Structure 1
Amino acid sequence: MGGPLVYFNNILSKQRARSPFEVMVRKEVGDHIRSWRFIIMLLLVLFTFAGAMYISLSHLGKAVRDVNDPDHVFVYLKLLTTSDNSLPTFHVFISFLGPLLGIALGFDAVNSEKNNGTLVRLLAQPVYRDNLLLAKFYAALLIVGTLFLSLVLLMTGAGLILTGVPMEAAELFRILAFIVLSVIYVGFWLSLSICLSVAFRHAATSAITAIGIWLFFTVFYQIIVNMVARALLPDPASLQPEQVIAYNNILISFFRVAPSQLYTDAATTLLMPSVRSLGPLSMEQMAGAIPAPLPFKESLMIVWPQVTGLLAASTACFAWAYYLFMRREIRT
């Protein structure tokens, strides 16, 4: 009997040795997995992934045989970028559904605890306020990262079974970088929704505000930038080629304020190795350029400003949430 008793005593001691942060993370992960809104978002992501993979697998043979495409040798990257225009590719779906996933996981992270009366009891324990916010943020990102990694593993397995082509190291690095980029993109919207959940008392208000910000940057922002450019800048038809390039660079700089544009630029560069620039090029820059895939390190250097922008925006939102939460009176 000594052996089983020692085993159970070790388990109990490990349970007692767990930090409050670890306990809160496990609790948040369980709450998210059992919630209906996460199940609905999971089904939406799975359906869009299945549709995108069906279209790409149906046209994969034609894409791989296209010798005029410098990326035709990357079979598994083609699974993520091939489409017949009937459905968008998977990274386009993520740029649309990723914000909804982040908002769904974070819009009531703090205000629901306060309205239910559990926040006072929770912080009455030896738990720091920053650990509470970090646990909610980390648990949601853990779920999102596991979801994206599982989808990519399913895609890799399906491609290996149907094509029999092993994955190259360059493809693996690019796909892993794409997963990290997608998690960072969802993390920005998650940190924004957590910040709004701290700023507003009611969950409905924070959810509507977060969705309004998402709709503004997704639908209306580019329209407003184009209208302002037409009103303040000269007509592009009357400009010289060098001036047209400067005009387009100005527009692209303003478009990149939107997080979805940063994500789309970075995802396209990572999944299409032949992309050499994210802006317009002059004839002198294009002269002598050979269409060939870039090494992974050079593609990473191209997208580093986009990744840094998303990380900076996420950090700013989380820091503001931390500032508001530390100053908030939780007993009223």
Structure 2
Amino acid sequence: MNTTIDTVPTDAAPPDTAPGATRRVSGAGWRIVARRDMAGHLHSVRFGILVGLVVLAGLAAVNAAAGSLRDATEAASSTPSAFLLIFTLSPDRIPSFVDFFSILGPLLGIAFGFDAIVGERSQRTLPRLVSQPIHRDDVIVGKFVAGLATISLVTVVVTAVVVAYGMWRVGRAPDGEELTRIVAVVLVSIVYVGLWLGVSVLASVLTRRAATAALATLALWLVFTLFFPLIAGVAADAVSPVDDNDPVTVVDNARTELRIRRLSPDQLYDEATGVLLNPEQQTTGIVVVRADSRSLPSILGLRESLVLAWWQLFALVALTIVTFVAASVLFLRQEIRA
């Protein structure tokens, strides 16, 4: 987002400061950048379009699941956390809300980050921005915080609308356990979209045009979202071929494909949210059911679900930090000319 930072007034200069000189603002510079950029995000056309798109997708998913939701509500005594089904049910060949968000969520991160630095550079406002009495790293930190705050606002608003609509269609409100799990899913969703924000900011630092940064991140999004499952399947067939007469090879092939697919942020997000939204799910891997299996299903608490998906959550957070740190280091090392 393109911004112009006004000179920040400071207190009286100390005796060892020359008259007329300005001091660098310690700790407040990134807040100024974040406040200006977030205001620009909220008043932009892209903000309204993306919010409307995600809200409509979420409402369509909940509306399509209305019949199944009523059945689940009637059987609530035997169905744990029935209200959470509004996020995971996908009848009538319409993806669930979580599936929609795993596809559309990255677009939020890309939209609010692809022109963070390159936009300033293309309009020749970057030299003036870094010449303000703030530290240079405050510029990229403020822009990332502005994008992340906007993403958080959008995610919370969209989830609230979907929950309210689900309450109206189902005729019941979520209980304390369900509400806590919904909050956990919202936090995971923010981290997931924040990862794509970091990727788009990194592309904005590396490229010289906003269109190039947008195309690069969109291409990466398409690869991981649409093509990576196909790539994982082909790679698994090459590494672990399937023998129709040997069931063990089928399991090995499925496990190999899953390991490869876990290189995609989309897969990590799906596994983490799947565990949080389904208390009966007790694994994120391949399940082999034996004919003589007599194990009884059990319900996991939120803490147990978080432990089950801890490494997926850790991977998403770590990747977000790595992309942002890489963007920051590269930006600080770049030469900026007037």
Classify the TM-score, shorter chain: 0.7 to 0.9
Q: How is 1:1-332 mapped onto 2 (pairs within 5 angstroms)?
A: 19-66=28-75, 72-161=79-168, 163=170, 165-241=172-248, 243-283=249-289, 287-331=293-337
- Give the distance between the partners of 2:235 and 2:89, measured in 1 at CA: 35
Q: Bigger CA drift: 54-63 or 285-294?
A: 285-294
- The question of whether the paired residues in 2 share the 8 Å contact of 1:64 and 1:73 is answered with no
The residue that corresponds to 2:16 in the other structure is none
Q: Output the amino acid matched with 2:307.
A: M
Secondary structure of the residue that 1:237 maps to in structure 2? Answer: coil
- What is the CA-CA distance between 1:274 and the residue it aligns to? 1.1
Cα deviations by residue, 1:174-225 (Å, 9 ceiling, x for unpaired): 1001001110110010000000000001111111110111111122222222
Contact 2:242 2:253 in 1 (8 A): no
Greater CA drift, 100-109 or 121-130: 121-130
How far does residue 78 in structure 1 lie from its aligned partner after superposition? 1.8
Could you tell me the TM-score, scaled by structure 1's length? 0.87
Q: Which residue of 1 is the match for residue 22 of structure 2? A: none
Cα deviation, 1:77-136, whole Å, max 9, x if unaligned, reads 122223323421111000110111111110110011112122111111121222211111
Q: How far apart in 2 are the matches of 1:17 and 1:314?
A: 25
The structure where helix makes up a greater share of residues is 1
Structure 1 residue runs without a partner (length 5+): 1-12
Long gaps (5+) in structure 2: 1-10, 12-24
CA distance in 2, matches of 1:209, 1:27: 26
CA distance in 2, matches of 1:49, 1:189: 20
Aligned Cα RMSD in Å?
2.5
Give the distance between the partners of 2:132 and 2:292, measured in 1 at CA.
63
Give the deviation of 1:258 after TM superposition: 0.8
**Whole-angstrom CA distance in 1 between matches of 2:238 and 2:31:** 54
Native 8 Å contact 1:236 1:247 kept in 2: no
The one-letter amino acid of 1:20's match is: G
Q: 1:211 to 1:291 in 2, by over 3 A?
A: same
In structure 2, C-alpha distance between the alignment counterparts of 1:285 and 1:301, rounded to whole Å: 29
Match of 2:244, SS state, is: helix
Secondary structure, in 3 states, of the residue corresponding to 1:59? helix
Deviations 1:252-283 (A, max 9, x none): 11110011111111111111111111112344
- Structure 2 Cα separation of the partners of residues 221 and 286 of structure 1: 36
Aligned counterparts of 2:154 and 2:64: Cα–Cα separation in 1:
21
Q: Distance in 1 between matches of 2:103 and 2:170?
A: 29
Q: Relative to structure 2, which stretch is displaced further, 122-131 or 93-102?
A: 122-131
Once the two structures are aligned, what percentage of the paired residues are identical?
A: 32
* TM-score of the superposed pair, with normalisation by structure 2: 0.86
Shift of the alpha carbon at 1:30? Answer: 0.8
Distance 1:285 1:154, change over 3 A: farther
Cα distance, 1:32–1:286 mapped onto 2, change above 3 Å: farther
> Matched residues in 1 for 2:56 and 2:173: separation?
26
